[in-house]
Structures are given as C-alpha cells and as structure tokens.
Amino acid sequence: MSTNVLVTGGCGFIGSNLVRYLLRERPDWKVVNLDRLTYAGNLENLADLADDARHVFVHGDVGDRACVDRVLQEHAIDCVLHLAAESHVDRSIEGPAVFVTTNVLGTQQLLEACRARGLRRFVQVSTDEVYGSLGPSGAFTETSPLQPSSPYSASKTGADLLALAYHHTYGLDVVVTRCSNNYGRYQFPEKLIPRMVVNALRNQKLPVYGDGQHVRDWLHVEDHCQGLLQALERGRAGEVYNLGGGAERKNLDLVKGILAALGKPESLIEFVTDRPGHDRRYAIDPAKSRRELGWTPAHSFEAGLADTVRWYVEHPEWWERVLSGEYRRTVTLTH
C-alpha cells in the first residue's frame, strides 16, 4: 500500500537523511516535509531531490494549526514522523523558551491536528536524554525513570508524555522512539563531531568541555532512519522503543581519533569550562527494538566515522555556506 507520510523537520540533519532514506527504501511513497527553516533547517541538505516530485517541501511551523491542518488534508497524510524540534543542549541552556514553544507546544498542536484527522500512525522521534545521566555502568531501558537534566531534554520529555497521553486518552496511534547521539552527513557544525572536524580543517581550537571523560553512545544516522521506518511499520501502538548504536566513546578519545584521521596535532585540543548540568554518560539497551522491530544497527562506528569525516573533507562548500550563513538564502525546492 502506498503511503503519504509527513516528515516534520525534514530539512535538518536527521530529517534530511530520513527523507532521502524513505524515498530510497519505499519508492512509491510520497514524503511531505514540513519545516520552519530555523537556523538548523537547510534546504541545501536536500538539493539532490530538487527534481523528485515524490518529495514535497512545505515551509511552515508545526505549531501553526491552520498550516498543519491544510498539509494533512491537501496531501492526504496517513502517517507522521515528527522530528521538528530545537535540538541543541547548549542553545537550550542559553535560551530555553523556544524549546518549550516548539518542542512542547508545537508537538501538542501537531498531535491535536493529527487526532482531528485520524491518522494511521504518529511516530514521536525522541532522545535518550529524557532518561538523564548514567553512572559508569548500566544502560537505559524503556522503563528507566525519566530524569531530564537540560531544558532541551525536559522539553522532549514533555513532548513524549503528551504523545503517549494522546494515545491513552484519545486512541491516537502513537509510537515513541528514543535514540542516542547520531552522527553522519549534513549534521550542523554546532554538534560535537562536525564541530571538531570543521575546526580541525580550519586549524582552529577544538573545545572539549570539562575533563572530556563524558561518554556518548554513537549511532549512524542511517541506522536511526532504519529504526524509524521499522517503528513506523512494526511498532506497537503506545510503546516506546530505544535505539542505540552500541558504540560508547569518551569525548576526548573521539576528538583525538578525529585529529588522527585528519593528520592534525592534538595541540589543537583546548579544555574549556564544562557545560552546566552536563550529563556524564548515556548508553542504550536496544533489546526491545531488536526483539520487537527486528532492528540492529548495520554500521560499525569506525567505518561510519571515517566516512563522515571524509564527507566533511570533500564538501567544504556545504559547511562553509553554513558557517557564513549563505545557506539561509536558499528558498526554492518546492513542487
């Protein structure tokens, strides 16, 4: 059966990879991409789809009910993959308000529109950060307590709980996914890996927060996209699925690995003041996703990181336009 799927936030890092992934894996689907084009939204991430009529870009806000109603109706949407969000922890510490507006209130508006329309499925794309921080051992399961530390993760927790409440109260078919740190092509250079690669390529300092011993569990963005498709097609309504890469790395080791891959000296590393409320360690137990969705990540971290670093080396025009702000002038790519 062909599907008209709405991807929100499809011009961001994961969203743009997901739009491309869906069109490759499900060639008869139509993918409608609703994105407000904040600083993180970049139409150039989808430049290769400019002539592909299966992708429809709509410039709009998930919190704009009239806009969402129109998109759902006009494109006969049957499923939603909701990724649109403010996504950067440091920005949420500097200015939390927009995180509540988009991640909590925007999600609620979108849920309300979907409830009114009666969708086949709503996938709330969330994060392991809702579980807070781990000690040196153990991993998050879907029943771990919700203990978000930052305004970002608190806003995602609020959104997840609203989505689940729309299932329990109104019967909307909701699945929540929570995944670990993604890496790959088209990631905005405010996040650890692209920031370090781009700084190293420009021979600038690489700022490592605190002692650099914080641990993240890295997941290749394509493996995440696969998990989202499987959650959409195979997940049970009202359930939460954790998606993790099984690749725990200390930040400092990762940064040293990037410098080695680029042939740059470790003297570029600069230890800077730690992030307030900085979660020490994340790790995901993916057993439920493996068992119920049949999901396992395909990429090894070493190969995936090498490919990602190479992509940034070979595409300076992409990140130079991001750093200069030129990318925000791209306004075409509509059908």
Contact partners, residue 167, CB within 8 Å, separation at least 6 = 173, 174, 237, 238
CA 77 to chain centre: 22
Distance CA 101, CA 78 (A): 25
Q: In Å, how far are 21, 185, 221, 296 from 305, measured between CA atoms?
A: 19, 10, 11, 18
Residue from 37, 114, 123, 193 that binds ligand NAD (CB under 6 A)? 37
CA 295 to chain centre: 18
Taking residues 112 to 151 in sequence order and writing x for each that binds ligand NAD by CB under 6 A, - otherwise, the string is -------------x-x------------------------
Return the range that interacts with ligand DAU (CB under 6 A); candidates 91-99, 116-124, 125-133, 290-298: 125-133
Contact partners, residue 176, CB within 8 Å, separation at least 6 = 123, 124, 126, 160, 163, 164, 239, 240, 241
For position 33 contacting ligand NAD by CB under 6 A, the verdict is no
Two tokens at 27?
């060639």
152 is catalytic: yes
Q: Specify whether the CB–CB gap between 106 and 62 falls below 8 A.
A: yes
For position 15 contacting ligand NAD by CB under 6 A, the verdict is yes
Catalytic residue among 152, 183, 241, 312: 152
Q: In Å, how far are 27, 37, 58, 97 from 46, measured between CA atoms?
A: 16, 13, 13, 29
Binding to ligand NAD (CB under 6 A): which residues in 178-237?
A: 179, 181-182, 188
CB of 199 to ligand DAU, least distance (A): 8
Catalytic residue among 35, 128, 223, 248: 128
CB closer to ligand NAD out of 121 and 264: 121
Residue from 214, 224, 249, 299 that binds ligand DAU (CB under 6 A)? 214
Distance CA 182, CA 193 (A): 10
For position 207 contacting ligand DAU by CB under 6 A, the verdict is yes
- List contacts with ligand NAD (CB under 6 A): 8-9, 11-15, 34-38, 40-41, 61-63, 83-85, 87, 102, 106, 125, 127, 156, 179, 181-182, 188
- List contacts with ligand DAU (CB under 6 A): 87-89, 127-129, 180-181, 191-192, 195, 207-209, 214, 216, 251, 275, 282
